[in-house]
Amino acid sequence: MLKSGIATLPLHGGKAPQWLFQRMKALSRAIIELMVIEFGTKELLRRLSDPFWFQSLGCILGFDWHSSGVTTTVTGAIKEGIKGMEKDLGLFVAGGKAKVALQTPNEIIRFSEKEGFDPNIFIYASKLSAKVDNVAIQDGFNLYHHTIFFTTTGDWCVIQQGMNESLKKARRYHWLSFAMSSFVEEPHYAVCCDVRTKTLNFTAREAKRLRQTTVEITKHNPDNILKELIKIQHLSLPTRHEITLKDVKYENLHKILLKTYESHPSDFESLLLTKGFGAKTLRALALTSELIYGTPLSYQDPAKFSFAHGGKDKIPYPVNIKIYDRTIDVIKKAIEEAKIGRQEKKETLKRLSLITEVL
């Protein structure tokens, strides 16, 4: 069964020690290579997009079984582990934590220049998935990590994570291209979460009309929109954030609205990708849209194998280095056998081809 969605994890400090991270790189490289040989890149992306499978991978690699660091460390280990093998695997990884995440488009472009494919589809997916989870889903978790896995055939998956400091929780968002029909309507195929927050969700199916009217609002004269906002500045609405002119700076909002008014975004995706368009602006426009058109806001929160080698924090037991290294060796041997098996199949097909020609 296909699963991709959201996982919520407790915030933990610290990082993987070098002796462990080096082994995580080696083991993740071996696992990824074997999976590509046996199942192909499409199946690998499908599994990475499954929050349960991804969590299990983190456990197998010997990191914390449930902490927020699983996301950043596991994606980092995979990225470092397959470095130099991307072309052979047909799999590329871009992005990372904090400032590294901002370099994602540049990394994608560098891969495309080297391998000769169009980077735009992946850059678009990277930017829009981040905008959706940071702006269109206002759940109190601010993104600080973003990684995209992609292939030259056009398939991709995104794994990104946001932080809620007051709850001391991190939330991981999973995206999968071939399981998704829309970037802005229920883009997460499934949801896995143990914490629900007060959320303003523009991607809910019932928010379709709200998305449409919000786009229409941006095509109106900015001065008229700000007049409507003044009407609701002292209106405290149930189960939602109160909007006042103190929350939304007149100058900033006017500047953004002037930009959208001049560019006339054609749809909600284009609106989200407008430079400078953030959560407060969207919230203000949505409330204005509700006031004018009666379109209701959606507050439906989309968020709903550690015994292999142990864990770095000694849970369920300290990492067993001897077993860990043995696992890496076994998988490497399996990779070699799989490659030999594939070569034997090729040789058999060649011989059959020659026989066919003779006949």
Maximum mean pLDDT: which of 57-66, 208-217, 288-297: 208-217
**Is the pLDDT assigned to residue 292 strictly greater than 80?**
no
pLDDT of 340 reads 73
* Alpha carbon distance 260, 286 (integer Å): 15
pLDDT of 305 reads 47
Cα dihedral 187, 98, 117, 343 sign: negative
Bridge-based pairing state of the strands 142-150 and 156-164: antiparallel
Question: What would the mean pLDDT of 241-266 be, rounded to a whole number?
Answer: 70
pLDDT band at 238 (very low <50, low <70, confident <90, very high): very low
Task: Judge whether 90 and 41 are in contact, CB under 8 Å.
Answer: yes
**Is the pLDDT assigned to residue 241 strictly greater than 70?**
no
3-state secondary structure of 107: helix
Task: Name the nearest CA neighbour of 11 among 249, 190, 158, 170.
Answer: 170
Least confident of 70-74, 83-87, 308-312, 329-333: 308-312
Residues 99-147 pLDDT 10s: 999 999 999 999 999 999 999 999 999 999 999 999 999 988 899 999 9
* Alpha carbon distance 325, 81 (integer Å): 15
Least confident of 48-62, 168-182, 206-220, 261-275: 48-62
Task: Name the nearest CA neighbour of 181 among 144, 152, 208.
Answer: 208
Between 314 and 177, name the one with better pLDDT: 177
Q: From start to end of the chain, where are the E strands?
A: 6-10, 92-97, 137-138, 142-150, 156-164, 169-176, 200-201
Least confident of 210-219, 291-300, 314-323: 314-323
Task: Name the nearest CA neighbour of 146 among 76, 97, 83.
Answer: 97
* Alpha carbon distance 192, 249 (integer Å): 36
Between 318 and 116, name the one with better pLDDT: 116
pLDDT of 342 reads 64
pLDDT of 189 reads 55
Maximum mean pLDDT: which of 51-60, 107-116, 173-182, 261-270: 107-116
Question: What would the mean pLDDT of 152-172 be, rounded to a whole number?
Answer: 90
Q: Mean pLDDT score of the chain, rounded to an integer? A: 80
Backbone phi and psi for residue 173, each to the nearest 5 degrees, phi listed first: -110, 130
pLDDT of 67 reads 62
Q: Show Cβ contacts of residue 259 under 8 Å, excluding neighbours closer than 6 positions.
A: 274, 275, 276
What's the predicted TM-score (pTM) here? 0.78
pLDDT of 356 reads 45
